[in-house]
Amino acid sequence: MRNELLKSPITLNRVFICAFIWSFICALSCAPAFAGDAAAPSGTKTRVVVLGTGTPVPDPERSGPAVAVVVNGRAYLVDCGPGVVRRAAAAFQKEGIKALDITSLNIVFITHLHSDHTLGYPDLIFSPWVMGRTDALHAYGPHGLKSMTKHIEKAWAEDVRVRREGLEQETTTGYRVKVHEIKPGVVYRDDNVRVTAFLVKHGIWKEAYGYKFETKDRKIVFSGDTAPTDAVVKACDGCDLLLHETYNPEGQQMSIPHWNEYFHAFHTSPAELADIARRAHPKLLVVYHQVLLKLPEDDLARQIGKAYAGDWVMARDLGVY
How does pLDDT run across 153-212, given as a tens digit for each residue?
999 999 999 999 999 999 999 999 999 999 999 999 999 999 999 999 999 999 999 999
pLDDT in tens, 274-312: 999 999 999 999 999 999 999 999 999 999 999 999 999
Instruction: Determine the pLDDT at residue 305.
Output: 96
* CATH dotted code for 34-320: 3.60.15.10
Q: What is the b/e burial string over 137-176, where b = at least 16 CB atoms within 10 angstroms of the residue's CB? A: bebbbbeebeebbeebbeeeeeebeebeeeeeebeeebbe
Strand order in the sheet with 319-320: 177-181, 137-141, 107-109, 74-78, 66-71, 47-52, 319-320
| pLDDT of amino acid 287 | 98
pLDDT tops 60 at residue 97: yes
User: Could you give the residue ranges of the DSSP H alpha helices within 30-136?
Assistant: 84-95, 115-118, 121-130
Q: Contact at 8 Å (CB) between 109 and 78?
A: yes
**Cβ atoms of 242 and 212 closer than 8 Å:** no
What is the rounded (10 degree) CA torsion for 264, 269, 272, 274?
Answer: 170
| Among 205, 215, 210, CA closest to 229 | 210
Please say if the pLDDT value at position 132 is more than 60.
yes
Closest by CA to 229, choosing from 212, 259, 247, 209, is 209
264 DSSP assignment: H
CA distance 309 to 253: 28
243 within 8 A of 220, measured Cβ to Cβ: yes
- pLDDT confidence of residue 26: 40
Nearest-angstrom CA–CA distance, 170 and 291: 40
Q: pLDDT tens across 7-37, in order?
A: 444 443 443 344 444 443 344 333 344 444 5
DSSP string, 169-230: ---SSTT-EEEEE--SEEEEE-SS-EEEEEE-B-TT-S--EEEEEE-SS-EEEE--S-BS-H
pTM comes to 0.88
Question: In this predicted structure, what is the pLDDT of residue 25?
Answer: 38
Mean pLDDT of 258-267: 95
Mean pLDDT of 234-259: 96
